[in-house]
Structure 1
């Protein structure tokens, strides 16, 4: 899992407030629409967000866990992914 901080954090935080369009997220976090679209696609690949149709995204339970532990993210290790996986499995 390769996150782009602080952009990914801002996207996840914005989606905690509810579903939103990628373009609206870009405006809210003051990032270019192409940047946000690219990051949303990557976050969707990581199962941290879900595209529910027509460019509307929502945060997933894995995304909520990731945001809770994002301060532990280390680009050199996959510790955050391990934390997400462990916590997600314990909630199923």
Structure 2
């Protein structure tokens, strides 16, 4: 999970595309396959997946395979509300929604 020093900073549109692919695809995938599906550089996708994992939006389930988390699904569903200026509020909002509050 992201700390206060490392608040959620999404890289759009790449992070949105990664979350969409994991949500709509097989539900889990390797970074190289995700990169192929969204036509992005594999190294960049891998780097972004590490950040998304730090934020709790995806998880590495072993052998380099990532899947989207419930928090990641919420973030994707509300991605249009995200901006770098309000990233802390966005993170708080999706965490509250996940907690039911």
TM-score w.r.t. length of structure 1: 0.95
* Range that drifts further, 79-88 or 64-73: 79-88
Q: Distance in 2 between matches of 1:88 and 1:38?
A: 25
TM-score w.r.t. length of structure 2: 0.87
Quote how far apart the aligned CAs of 1:27 are: 0.5
Quote how far apart the aligned CAs of 1:79 are: 2.1
Residue of structure 1 equivalent to 2:40: 31
Runs of 4+ in 1 over 4 A off after TM superposition: none
Which sections of structure 2, spanning at least 5 residues, go unmatched?
A: 1-7
Q: Distance in 1 between matches of 2:41 and 2:60?
A: 19
- 1:55-87 deviations in Å (ceiling 9; x for gaps): 111000000000010000010122210111110
1:8 paired with 2:18, answer no
Q: Distance in 1 between matches of 2:89 and 2:38?
A: 26
How many corresponding residue pairs?
91
Q: CA RMSD in A?
A: 1.0
Q: Distance in 2 between matches of 1:88 and 1:29?
A: 27
Q: Choose which of 41, 54, 65 in structure 1 pairs with 2:74.
A: 65
Structure 2 SS opposite 1:4: coil
